[in-house]
Amino acid sequence: MYLVEMKQVEKTYNLGNVKVSALVDINLQVRPNCFTVISGPSGSGKTTLLNMIGCIDHADQGEVLVAGENVRAMSDDALSEFRAKHLGFIFQNFNLLPMLNAYENIEYPLLLNKVPAARRQQKVNTLLEMVGLSDRAQNRPNQLSGGQRQRVAIARALAAEPKIVLADEPTANLDSHTGAAIIALMRKMQNELKVSFVFSSHDPQVHAEADDTVFIRDGRITKISRQGEGERVLDLMRAVQ
C-alpha cells in the first residue's frame, strides 16, 4: 500500500484578482520506508505539495489519501488529530519553540498526544540519545548550533511515531558538512524507525540519498525516478545546474 496517493490534485492561490496555479494535475504515489525527494526550482510548488501531504493546506480539486485516509473529507479538528498522530514536520529554519529546551521541544508532540509521563520521559531520552544530544537536553535553541537544532527538530518530528515525516528544505540553512551529517542521521532514523521521509530540496546531497525523486516545474510533475535509477538522477541534477 502507498503511504500517500494523490490523483489529479489542483491548487490555485488567489492574490487579489490574479490566480497563481501552484499545483496542476498532480498524480503521485509515495512508497513506505523510503526517502522521496521533491525537486524543483524556487516557486515550482514544492512547499505547496508538501503542505498538501501534511494536511496543512487544502487541495481545490482531486483526491488526497494519506496513510489510507481521505484527508480532503476530514473536518479541521479531525485533521489536527490526524496530523499529530501520523505526521512529523522538519523545517528549513528548524521552528523550535524558543522558550523550551531541547528535551521539552521533543516532549511537546507527546504532550499533544496525551502520552503518559513515564512513557514520555523514556521516549524523549531515547530520542536524545539517537540524535546524539543527551548532553544538551537542557539547552534552549539559542544555545545550540544549527546542526544541533536540526537534530532536535528531527527527534521532535519522530517523537509521536508518525508514519511520514515531511521535511521542507531541511539542509538549506546548514553548511554542506553539517547538512551531510543531518541527511545521514535522517537515513539512520528512517531505517531504525521504519518511517518514510518526504523532502523538498534542491540540495544535491539530499538528491544523492533519494530513493525516489519527483521533479516538479511550474506546479506540474515532469518526471518521477524510482530507486535504482539514482545515478541517472544525479546526472540530471548536474545537467540542470
Write out the residues near Mg ion by the rule CB under 5 A.
46-47
Question: Is the CB of 43 or the CB of 68 nearer to Mg ion?
Answer: 43
Beta strand 69-70 pairing with 61-66: antiparallel
Contact of residue 17 among ligand ADP, Mg ion, none (CB under 5-8 Å per partner type): none
Question: Is the CB of 42 or the CB of 142 nearer to ligand ADP?
Answer: 42
Q: Residue 136 corresponds to which cell in the numbers above?
A: 544538551
Question: Is the CB of 46 or the CB of 72 nearer to Mg ion?
Answer: 46
Q: Residue 41 corresponds to which cell in the numbers above?
A: 526550482
Q: Residue 3 corresponds to which cell in the numbers above?
A: 503511504
Contact of residue 44 among ligand ADP, Mg ion, none (CB under 5-8 Å per partner type): ligand ADP
32: exposed, middle or buried (Cβ count in 10 Å: 0-12, 13-18, 19+): middle
Q: Least CB distance from residue 95 to Mg ion, whole Å?
A: 14
The CB-side HSE value for 107 (13 A sphere, CA atoms) comes to 16
Contact of residue 15 among Mg ion, ligand ADP, none (CB under 5-8 Å per partner type): ligand ADP
Would you state the torsion angle of the CA atoms of residues 112, 74, 48, 176, taken in this order, to the nearest 10 degrees? 30
Q: Least CB distance from residue 20 to ligand ADP, whole Å?
A: 5
> What amino acid is encoded at 48 in this protein?
T
Question: Is the CB of 45 or the CB of 179 nearer to ligand ADP?
Answer: 45
Q: Least CB distance from residue 118 to ligand ADP, whole Å?
A: 40
Backbone φ and ψ of 84, nearest 5°: -65, -35
Q: Least CB distance from residue 41 to Mg ion, whole Å?
A: 10
Question: Is the CB of 42 or the CB of 75 nearer to ligand ADP?
Answer: 42
Q: Least CB distance from residue 179 to ligand ADP, whole Å?
A: 18
Give the footprint of ligand ADP on this chain (CB under 6 A): 13, 15, 20, 22, 40, 42-48, 200
Question: Is the CB of 36 or the CB of 47 nearer to Mg ion?
Answer: 47
For residues 155 and 206, what is the distance between their CA atoms, to the nearest angstrom?
19
Neighbours of 197 (CB within 10 A): 28
The CB-side HSE value for 105 (13 A sphere, CA atoms) comes to 31
**Cα Rg of the chain, angstroms:** 18
Q: Least CB distance from residue 168 to Mg ion, whole Å?
A: 6
